[in-house]
Amino acid sequence: MPAKSNNVESVTFNFHSLRFTPIKEIESNNNSITICRNVIGFINDEMRQGRGFFVDRNANKKGDERRMFMTMVSQDLPNKKFKGTLALIRSGRLPLIRPADSYSLVAFDKNQGDIAEQTHFFIDYSRQGPVVICFEFNSNGPRISDFEFYMRKVANERLGLSKATTVETYMSSKLTDAISNLANVLNVSAKIQPKNLNNLETKYQGYFSGLRSFSNDMKPKFLKFEAMYRSPGKSSSNKIINTEANNWIINMLKGFKERQENIDTFDDFVLVYEDKQGSDQIFDLIKGKTEIIKDIDHDQIKTVRQWYDVIETDFNAFLATL
């Protein structure tokens, strides 16, 4: 076996469900599986004819474009799986390039094409109900909410098969525990890109109106905030129940459970709270997702099939728990 190279990266995979709601005219004969297969079939037909299906998630918003397209997708019929990649065209300020054997930097030549980030995904459609997705977490590439948007555009608008899509991230039990057992918020810290505030559902955006106003005036690239509800050194007997903060946090936790866009809005979100038994607990939104971490040797693992081989055993083990 070839020796491991120095080009090794630890890659996180998360698990999600994707449900399509068929339009009324076809609901008796269609479900999430049949619609997903039709969507993938359409994309494959486009690629066979030398075309790609582009979607710009920010087409109706101000700011940078967020253009995406599937670069490839294959079907594993015996195991009822799809394996593919979704690419995001990089927009905004482009990176500089260092020519070989040089200590200078030059601009990327746009005449050569676009810079794109690629995210791998694997879809299981072997069971009833929503399809299950194993999705690579690529901080620079498409997120699961981008994938849902892309699939929705094809299923709803291009094929007219679905009236809605819903993606749900499989979380650890800590999210459910926090919603049901939170008695008092002690500390909240978060990191967010101002442009992502608009991705929150409208009913949650009011909580962050002050941050939006500050961002509009000061134009930071990132915002970090922390709210502390317990003074250092104070005993628990002196605690004050903050009803407003508790209601805010419980609503946000429910939002994380209901919609992926609310999760993807944040780069970091950590809650420390006291539960109903009087114990301090920690909920970390990013680390709270069910995940598998694998070392990917980019010198040896290059094809989608090779990527799938790395995650196959763990993906099937996760499916067996559902």
Radius of gyration for the alpha carbons in the chain, expressed in angstroms and rounded: 22
Within a 13 Å sphere around the CA of 152, how many CA atoms are in the beta-carbon half?
16
In the chain, where the domains are located: 8-100+112-170+290-319, 173-284
Mean pLDDT by 10 residues, the chain (322 residues): 71 95 94 97 93 88 84 94 94 74 77 83 95 94 94 95 92 84 94 88 88 89 89 57 91 88 90 91 86 92 95 95 88
Residue 83 CB: number of other CB atoms within 10 A?
21
Q: Which of 273, 269, 293, 291 is nearest to 282 (CA)?
A: 273
pLDDT reported for residue 65 = 83
Residue 74 near residue 83 (C-beta atoms within 8 A): yes
pLDDT at 168: 87
Please report the pLDDT score of residue 106 as a whole number: 76
Give the DSSP letter string of 113-142: ---EEEEEEEEE-SSSSSEEEEEEE-TTS-
Using an 8 Å Cβ cutoff, are 161 and 42 in contact? no
**Cα 264 from Cα 275, distance rounded (Å):** 26
How far is C-alpha 44 from the geometric centre of its chain's CA atoms? Answer: 24
Segment holding 171, helix H or strand E? none
The tokens for 169 are: 């991230």
On whether the CB atoms of residues 142 and 167 are closer than 8 A, the answer is no
Token digits of residue 72: 């490839």
- In angstroms, what CA-CA distances link 45 with 23, 40, 207? 23, 9, 44
CA distances from 96 to 107, 115, 222 (A): 5, 11, 22
**Do the beta carbons of residue 156 and residue 42 sit within 8 Å?**
no
Q: Token pair of 108, please?
A: 């990327």
Query: What size, in residues, is the chain?
Result: 322
Between the alpha carbon of residue 314 and those of residues 82, 120, 300, 310, 320, the distances in Å are 16, 15, 20, 9, 10
Q: Return the exposure string of 157-168: e unless at least 16 CB atoms fall within 10 Å of the residue's CB, then b.
A: eeeebbeebbbb
